[in-house]
Amino acid sequence: MTTVSKRLLGNLGANSLGKGLNILSQILLVPLFLKFWGVELYGEWLILSTIPAYLVISDFGLGHASANEMAIKVSQGLQNKALEIFQATAMLIAVMFLVVGICFAIILMIVPLNEWLNFIHIERHEMLLVILFLSLKVLVSQQFGLYHSAFRCIRRNAFGTMLKNALLICQLIGISAALIIGVNPWQLALIDLSITSIALLLVRLLMWVQIPWVRYGFPKNIRKVIKPIFYPALAFLIFPFTQLILIQGTTIVTGILLGPTAVVLYTTVRMLGNVSLRLLEIVTISVWPEISVAFGKRDLVQMRKLHRYGAQIVLWLSIIGFTLLLFIGEYVYLMWTGNNVEWEQAFFMLMILAIFLESLQIFSKVIPTATNQHVRMIVWLLINALISLPFLWGFIVMYGIIGISFMLILHNTVLSIVVLAYALRQLEEKPFDYFVYLISPYFLYNNVKKSLSKVLY
């Protein structure tokens, strides 16, 4: 088995466990929230927890861009350059979070949030505490992600991922126990922050042993270090922003027009559909580091090979996964929610179609993003997200909750076309040859056979 194959299998194993833990968290926590808090309080928590999520913009995309660049520099033998990128990124993320956080806090203190959201169970002072603790968790998580980038650049991505998996286990146990003993929302947010902070300190201690050359400091010329990744970083900033516009924006618009109960229905149906997406992302994030290394070595052949293989696996897994959901989705959903949420058959079917369309681009996006070549592509994705919300408002007014699925079908169709076009152009891949390879059972059989032979022998 080649070294690349070993790393890919290690990444697949660690990422599979991580996605499994995410799915397990959703499976276990949703019933617990509904049992101990009820539908209305859980709906208010979902709406409120979307607000601190906007603070992910405070790193201005530097986390992902610097992770790519660090991996590329180390693959070229430039360890000192990678260290400078780490130091500059860590310092700038902390400073920018402080600035954005202060502005964010001022806005929240001024606006009548409790009047706008019409909450019944959560008081204003509790709202502010929840937002404060979850916002601080965002800062801690950003540093945790930067530590993972350090492991990734020395090609120990699987080990770094396992550390994140350990954090997920602790969070699942902590939140479950907190709900059972009867904590309120602000106490739950504080517990979540505490668990994440302790994990960050432990990982930092481990880094001193495993990667001694990665340390905090002040690079001589921050401007020179950051300049090559500035525009890719801004583009990475827009990635979560487009998701926030779409997912969190949909949650807020649904809450305003249809109420917390509809938010729970939309969120839980999307969670169930996202199980397949999260499984598909295992392939994407496992191959990501190898794409960065191949790009650093200017190995276009290896990049094209990884893209074809990964995209083919994602396509066929997607077809299988979403077909199963169409047949057993209702049974799983009602059992999962304990019949606490009213079932909407038409809405569920259309949501599954929308999420399947989203899955078509989930792997191809790794080509421009893993190489910091995604600046132009993200502009089109942002435009697509911005246009989607007015469509969402109109569709909900005309069709009710089914209007959400209509908007997502339109949005995800455009999304897949744009992403695939940019990936194939960068790889210098002919679309016809690519699609023939993608849908061919013969190539799929050969690839699976080769993979199994590497694992078994």
- Residue 334 CA, chain-centre distance (Å), reads 26
Would you place residue 2 in the very low, low, confident or very high pLDDT band (cuts 50, 70, 90)? low
Would you place residue 449 in the very low, low, confident or very high pLDDT band (cuts 50, 70, 90)? low
pLDDT of the residue at 114: 66
Tokens 């993200």, residue located:
378
Would you place residue 455 in the very low, low, confident or very high pLDDT band (cuts 50, 70, 90)? very low
Average pLDDT over residues 9-18: 73
Reported as a single tens digit per residue, the pLDDT across 93-147 is 777 777 777 777 777 777 776 666 667 777 777 888 888 888 888 878 877 777 7
Average pLDDT over residues 141-161: 76
Higher pLDDT: 312 or 112? It is 312
Would you place residue 3 in the very low, low, confident or very high pLDDT band (cuts 50, 70, 90)? low
Within 8 A by CB and 6+ apart from 447, the residues are 309, 312, 313
pLDDT of the residue at 454: 54
Reported as a single tens digit per residue, the pLDDT across 21-37 is 877 887 788 888 888 88
pLDDT-above-90 percentage for the chain: 2
Is 5's pLDDT higher than 70?
Answer: no
pLDDT of the residue at 266: 86
DSSP 247: I
pLDDT of the residue at 448: 59
Count of residues in the chain: 457
Reported as a single tens digit per residue, the pLDDT across 212-245 is 777 777 777 777 777 777 767 777 777 767 877 7
Angle at 385 between CA 134 and CA 362, to 5 degrees: 80
Would you place residue 267 in the very low, low, confident or very high pLDDT band (cuts 50, 70, 90)? confident
Tokens 């679309």, residue located:
431
pLDDT of the residue at 456: 44
pLDDT of the residue at 61: 58
Tokens 């038409």, residue located:
346
Is 10's pLDDT higher than 80?
Answer: no
Reported as a single tens digit per residue, the pLDDT across 53-101 is 666 555 555 666 777 777 777 777 777 887 888 888 777 777 777 777 7
Choice among 49-58, 181-190, 359-368 with the minimum mean pLDDT: 49-58
What is the four-CA torsion angle of 158, 164, 166, 171, rounded to 10 degrees? -160
Q: How many CB atoms lie within 10 A of CB 352?
A: 21
Reported as a single tens digit per residue, the pLDDT across 403-424 is 888 999 998 899 889 889 888 9
Distances (CA, A) of 44 to 36, 84, 134, 252, 380: 14, 43, 15, 11, 33
- Which of helix, strand or coil describes residue 4? helix
* Residue 303 CB burial class (10 angstroms; 0-12, 13-18, ≥19): buried
Residue 430 region, left (φ>0) first, then alpha (ψ -120 to 50), else beta?
Answer: beta
Cα–Cα distance, 229 to 85 (Å, whole number): 9
